[in-house]
Amino acid sequence: MIHIVDRYNRAAYAALLMEMHRYRHDIYIKKREWAALRSYDGMEIDEYDGQNATYLVATDEAGKFQGAVRLISTAHHSMMKDHFAHIVFDVDTIPSSECVMEGSRIMVTDWTADDNGHSVLQRLSIGMVEYALSQGAVGISTLTERSIVDMMDMLEWGYVPLSPMVTYSNSDDDVAGSGECMAQYIPICQTMFKHIDRNTKIGESNFVIGDEWAKANLSPSDFLAEQYEIPAGGDEQALAS
């Protein structure tokens, strides 16, 4: 299941959000060694984790964290505009609109599919489109790694590349923290959503909306999710996917 966590229900989801930030630390700082990112008490939190961020957080039925993606409006700031303008084909194509959301920090604890052939990554990706449509968005901008771009190709998503596939490295030895990523724009509509949903055969919404489930199933936490200490802006090593 996927939980929609925004400024209105973060208190109920504080413990789950803290787990998400700790997993982000493990993935991006410890495993991928993106040195530009900062650790706050073992949690990775950046300048886009503010009041306007919405998180889609995947859990199992017992509330165990399985993955997440962050969505923000591109109207004023975005990772692509603030840190990656130099890699896009044309800076004038970088989305900047209340009607376009940026998806970032997408991650999962397990890439394998369940008994129905659905992976958590697929559910989060479909959920991202479903949620964006519910908010009146017409598009999603992303900076994603090759593995996610390959999944989008497999599901026949009609995205527009905004950059070439770029090779990056976040260390002096060009080994640790290296990979490939692409900037892209995904136009969305109900027809597109039905097409990719048909390809994944998920068939129904898997959202849990509201905080009653969280209050009943999640342990309380002293972590006040709505009061992030937002750090100063990072640099281009803070990749989005």
The CATH number given to whatever domain includes residue 67 is: 3.40.630.30
Judge contact between 25 and 42, C-beta under 8 A.
yes
Number of domains in the chain: 1
Please give the residue range of the domain that contains residue 46.
Answer: 2-217
| Spatial distance between the Cα atoms of 180 and 178, rounded to a whole number of angstroms | 7
Per-residue pLDDT at 179:
79
Query: Would 111 be classed as within a structural domain?
Result: yes
| Spatial distance between the Cα atoms of 217 and 169, rounded to a whole number of angstroms | 41
Q: What is the pTM of this model?
A: 0.85
Query: Would 74 be classed as within a structural domain?
Result: yes
pLDDT band at 223 (very low <50, low <70, confident <90, very high): low
More confident residue, 192 or 168: 192
